[in-house]
Structure 1
């Protein structure tokens, strides 16, 4: 069966720029345009609105200079207005060759915004199209508020379409301007149009106000649409537009009757670049490009992945230039940890794996996020803790640090079965802790080694703040030795390192 080709028009640089607080520089626009056309193989891109600003003018001029040298001029489009030829003059100066003429697709907009009759509007549109033709500029036509037009004034919409099909227009663009369509409406409205005008190229422009944009895209395809408008990361006014990433994945996986030419493997890298340029952060749970969408958290899922990929679907991360991850936390379980260990080239026996799993669960209960890079440090800490018998145990402590008073610690220490409590102040919480510990040891006529170095760091490469590693160097006058503590709190990590030191010197 021959597949029907669907054109993809990306409007990140025009409609996507209407995202609140987003504005691209001319250099950023050029970079994104180059990636969309060459890296992703987008069919067409809409890059600007005519006459908006000098910066927009320079941006379009730069893109068109590059595009004309590459032979891409007919794939670049600019939004224009019925303004007596001003938009056409602006386009001529930039070198742009395709206008997307904004017109009224509902009687409500025409009557109350333009205050004109359909005949007056059509006459002015005909003049704008003719002027573009005279200047070598191709025309596509937007029917602004088309979805409400179909719902509330369908006679006007078809009167307008009857006029438009007599004009030298390449494409007619049908926007759900206010994002009001549900899938059944989308199918019904577009079916009526494509069945009446089977030889005309229609595009569908979805907005996402009800989170239905991708569903509406699917119905538009079923109804016979020829082109779709999307934006990278679903950027756009209000709730945004149909997201390029999800649209591509849905079409490729669920619509075998059509074909698109987008390079899936580049979707993620382009998405991240647009995120960087805009400062508009991608939600972690956003399909295809979100940080978490290829991350398994539950241990049962990782276990299933080990057993014939039971929890895989067609959205394999490699399709989009990504990799599957296995989160480490209180629900991860041994299977998740084993997956991460495999990536690090590490292997533990079942007993040690159980101990490491327990430590990660403890961190998860504190709402800490552990990363793969943290694992070697957790393993080292856990296994190091098993290297000696805990003869000395810090049973409890209270750390007090408040404005206007010196930090203080109340420490309860168990030495050879005897529990001793002491209180002390210091220059900081750990200093107060050490002062209390020193008093206990003096009372037992025991000597503590001298602290000669104290270093704090997060595990190198870690992308979380779940863990803090404290490395303390001690000397007893004859030799130096180090102990380490690992915790989400710096002072607690230091106290853990100190307990290790107490057991080292007592063994």
Structure 2
């Protein structure tokens, strides 16, 4: 059995508060979802929303038509005669996901119509769609409340429409109110009564049960599941695609067409476009989910992979890591030193372990990239050579003018100086550094992400932590800076990055 996945990141996912995708972003995500991730279908927009939405659908359908994927592109439309259909057809689409009412309360309270009148209106849309060669799937909005409060209405709708041209009947838990027992009961009752219908289940996560409810729906026998990347969506969001894929493959033993190894890449792209960060402990896609923290775990992995499970990081384009902190033992540090190619004696290892634990007690973050500096400090050795030093810099911020940086750095004893503008003081600093690099013919990394952590409570004298992600020659790595000033912290992280590249001490993080 293969479960069909319809991803609605570009429609329901965009209903996340504060999220809005532009045309180019929607096209980029659509191509990755269909071509790389191999999602079966994508819902890309709502009809009649805006001119920008119309142009985005045009771009996606034009691309999809060239690739022979147009039938996989769907647009939410409304029971409004030919209006939504004409909008979709004009934008190049040929599949409508028709939003109808799945509860008696919605029909009478929102539409002010009888069930018979609502069915008559739907039939008019179906007839027009057939004339326009547009395929129709149907959402029964508020279906979950419909099954709780007015099941006879739900059955009336399905009785009336089961022999129509509708291809898929989509059952949404619109308000995220159901639990797995209810989902299995309600889906089973519909499957038993209408065995020839193709049924999709659409979960929301208001009680943090979206993935559990997906499990129950599949156990009941539905053929399709709706997801979003990173669980984006209205209110608490939808079922995350990554979690659903892991669940389906490992817990239910059924298949999907998803390319698991592409999940992380697509997840990070959507994070970038949406501005909604992936929680570090998010299953499968979070930064820490393939990281062992306790020293006993690293020791067990060294001996016989005792703390591995079926969710191997390599499946999702990831690598296993071992955290450094106060719960770290010698095994964690050994794992990280292996990555760096550094060997220490037993006595040296003891001293380094004590320092890592000491830093962890102070709530300081310790990364693999920090280890050579810690070793150098603890052992008073030259395991890290500072090829590059920032000698002086002046940062100017003047109202009405672009920020200006004057920077002097020393590279292997030779002094270099440059001046540059930027969008901010740190940006100006980086432009000056890269001007020096360009003159010297040196390659430099690309800044991928920039996170500033400021202690809560308005403590202006507290230390600010800046963590910057860089990409260099296909490797992604992070450096950290700590200072009372945010820009100073970023500059410290940058200098650390420059020296890591010079020393060749890089570690892939994803």
The two structures have a TM-score, normalised by structure 2, of: 0.76
Q: Does the 8 A contact of 1:458 with 1:467 survive in 2?
A: no
Which of 480, 485, 489 is residue 464 of structure 1 equivalent to?
480
> How far off is 1:467 after superposition?
9.6
Larger Rg: 1
Q: Give 1:295's aligned residue.
A: 291
Q: Give 1:242's aligned residue.
A: 239
| CA–CA separation in structure 2 for the residues paired with 1:75 and 1:259 | 19
| CA–CA separation in structure 1 for the residues paired with 2:196 and 2:339 | 54
Residue-by-residue CA offset, 1:189-240 (whole Å, 9 max, x unaligned) = 0000011111110000000011111111011001010100000000001000
> How far off is 1:151 after superposition?
0.6
Q: Give 2:455's aligned residue.
A: none
SS of 2:481's partner is coil
Is residue 71 of structure 2 the alignment partner of residue 74 of structure 1? yes
Q: Give 1:384's aligned residue.
A: 380
Report matched runs for 1:218-233 at 5 Å. Answer: 218-233=215-230
Q: Does the 8 A contact of 1:368 with 1:465 survive in 2?
A: no
| CA–CA separation in structure 2 for the residues paired with 1:372 and 1:307 | 22
| CA–CA separation in structure 1 for the residues paired with 2:158 and 2:243 | 31
Q: Give 1:208's aligned residue.
A: 205
Does the C-alpha gap of structure 1 residues 159 and 462 become closer, same or farther in structure 2, counting only changes over 3 Å? closer
Pick which of 179-188 and 83-92 moved more.
83-92
Q: Give 1:438's aligned residue.
A: none
Q: Give 2:53's aligned residue.
A: 56
SS of 1:463's partner is strand
> How far off is 1:465 after superposition?
3.4
Residue-by-residue CA offset, 1:18-70 (whole Å, 9 max, x unaligned) = 00000000000000000000000000000000000000000000000000111
| CA–CA separation in structure 2 for the residues paired with 1:213 and 1:352 | 49
Q: Give 2:119's aligned residue.
A: 122
Q: Does the 8 A contact of 1:372 with 1:462 survive in 2?
A: no
| CA–CA separation in structure 2 for the residues paired with 1:226 and 1:328 | 44
Report matched runs for 1:22-421 at 5 Å. Answer: 22-256=19-253, 258-384=254-380
> How far off is 1:167 after superposition?
1.1
Q: Does the 8 A contact of 2:291 with 2:321 survive in 1?
A: yes
Q: Give 1:477's aligned residue.
A: none
| Aligned length in residues | 397
Residue-by-residue CA offset, 1:143-170 (whole Å, 9 max, x unaligned) = 0000010011000000100011021110
| CA–CA separation in structure 2 for the residues paired with 1:28 and 1:467 | 36
Does the C-alpha gap of structure 1 residues 386 and 80 become closer, same or farther in structure 2, counting only changes over 3 Å? closer
Is residue 12 of structure 2 the alignment partner of residue 12 of structure 1? no
Q: Does the 8 A contact of 2:375 with 2:381 survive in 1?
A: no
Q: Give 1:496's aligned residue.
A: none
The two structures have a TM-score, normalised by structure 1, of: 0.76
- List runs of 5+ in structure 1 lacking aligned partners: 388-456, 469-489, 491-507
| CA–CA separation in structure 2 for the residues paired with 1:289 and 1:189 | 31
Does the C-alpha gap of structure 1 residues 103 and 353 become closer, same or farther in structure 2, counting only changes over 3 Å? same
SS of 1:331's partner is coil
Q: Give 2:406's aligned residue.
A: none
> How far off is 1:386 after superposition?
12
Does the C-alpha gap of structure 1 residues 353 and 159 become closer, same or farther in structure 2, counting only changes over 3 Å? same
SS of 1:228's partner is strand
Q: Does the 8 A contact of 1:82 with 1:101 survive in 2?
A: yes
SS of 2:327's partner is coil
| CA–CA separation in structure 2 for the residues paired with 1:226 and 1:219 | 12
| CA–CA separation in structure 2 for the residues paired with 1:281 and 1:47 | 21
Q: Does the 8 A contact of 1:369 with 1:466 survive in 2?
A: no
Q: Does the 8 A contact of 2:177 with 2:207 survive in 1?
A: yes
SS of 1:359's partner is helix
SS of 1:307's partner is helix
| CA–CA separation in structure 1 for the residues paired with 2:30 and 2:276 | 18
Q: Give 1:426's aligned residue.
A: none
Does the C-alpha gap of structure 1 residues 75 and 349 become closer, same or farther in structure 2, counting only changes over 3 Å? same
| CA–CA separation in structure 1 for the residues paired with 2:116 and 2:292 | 59
SS of 2:44's partner is strand
| CA–CA separation in structure 2 for the residues paired with 1:85 and 1:22 | 29
> How far off is 1:464 after superposition?
2.8
| CA–CA separation in structure 1 for the residues paired with 2:92 and 2:380 | 69
